[in-house]
Amino acid sequence: MAALIAENFRFLSLFFKSKDVMIFNGLVALGTVGSEELFSVVAFHCPCSPARNYIYGLAAIGVPALALFLIGVIWNNHTWNLVAECHKRGTKNFSAAATFLLFGSIMGRAAVAPVTWSVISLLRGEAYICALSEFVKPSSLDKFPAEYGAEVLARFPCRDVPANLTKFRDEVTRRLRYESQLFGWLLIGIVAVLVFLTKCLKHCCSPLSYRQEAYWAQYRSNEDKLFRRTAEVHSRILAANNVKHFFGFVALDKEEKELVQEFPVEGVQPSPQWNAITGVYIYRENKGFPLYSRLHKWAKGVEGNGPTPEGHELLFLAS
């Protein structure tokens, strides 16, 4: 059973890493919708108190969105490639366009979940109603009793109001829900337009043909899978050799014994090699031939990182 679970988890991991970005973003959005629904049912309870409603309502929308955004930034491989790039080489090899493209890619992917959370929260309306009910002007309500003020309006989301104010509570709730949903639909429209314009700009500015860009995406996916798989085997064999050197023997299962016999590992790669294949990569060509990754560039023995007469930077970031 444990092996089956591990195999299924590995399959899902490879699925997420290999499939199209749009599919992955859709799954992230779907998961965010489910989380928001669960949060609204289980965790959201308006305090129905002046001054507290506003803070609680905004926090219910903004804090989870911020947390999801930070998780998206942390989860993005470009983030850590950028950290490695700044640590090892600085950003001197980046043009302004390349830097903008990189940050745009990181922020754009990280924004999927928080935008989805914000949209669903606005369409549901509970947090918006909770936050702004106390700010509704009594004068805007026809024949609203003068003896009641913001304290009663703040209790409208909890339906804890005198019987003679029921119709006013329904009117305020309906008005605020309309505003909340309007903002939600506007946010959807703005995001859709931005995504469309970004995709158009990306394809218009791409130096690659459609087929070459598809090939590049396949190459990156295959290189990443093969590198991870090979690194896992290499590290296991190296660990087995070191353990054997210490104890005089090593306890291996049948599969591990076959790996040790089939792939002899003599040592480890020096740090300069790891540094050469680590970091942000922007598509480049050398003498007319494409270099699809830092590993590809290292394997071809191409030196340098910036644009030169022999190595032309085309300012196109890997998706």
pLDDT reported for residue 230: 94
Q: What pLDDT score was predicted for residue 89?
A: 62
For position 88, what pLDDT does the model report?
66
Which one-letter amino acid corresponds to residue 205?
A: C
- Which residues 6+ apart lie within 8 Å of 116 measured at CB? 28, 29, 32, 33, 36
Looking at residue 3, what is its pLDDT? 43
Do 133 and 55 contact (CB within 8 A), yes or no?
no
Mean pLDDT in consecutive groups of 10 residues from the start of the chain, 319 residues: 41 43 57 60 77 90 91 85 70 64 83 89 90 85 75 82 80 91 95 89 79 90 94 93 93 90 88 84 83 91 56 44
Can you give the pLDDT at residue 179? 94
The single-letter code of the amino acid at 206 is S
- What was the pLDDT predicted at 232? 94
pLDDT of residue 6: 42
What is the rounded distance in angstroms from the CA atom of residue 133 to the CA atom of residue 93? 53
Q: What is the pLDDT of residue 18?
A: 42
Element housing 313 (H / E) = strand 311-317
Strand order across the beta sheet in which 311-317 lies: 289-291, 282-286, 311-317
- pTM of the shown model: 0.69
Q: What is the pLDDT of residue 17?
A: 44
Q: Which neighbouring-strand residues pair with 284?
A: 291, 313
Query: Could you please report the per-residue DSSP string of 237-305?
Result: HHHHHHHHHHHS-----HHHHHHHHHS-------HHHHHHT-S--EEEEETTEEE-SHHHHHHTT---S
**Per-residue model confidence (pLDDT) at position 38:** 60
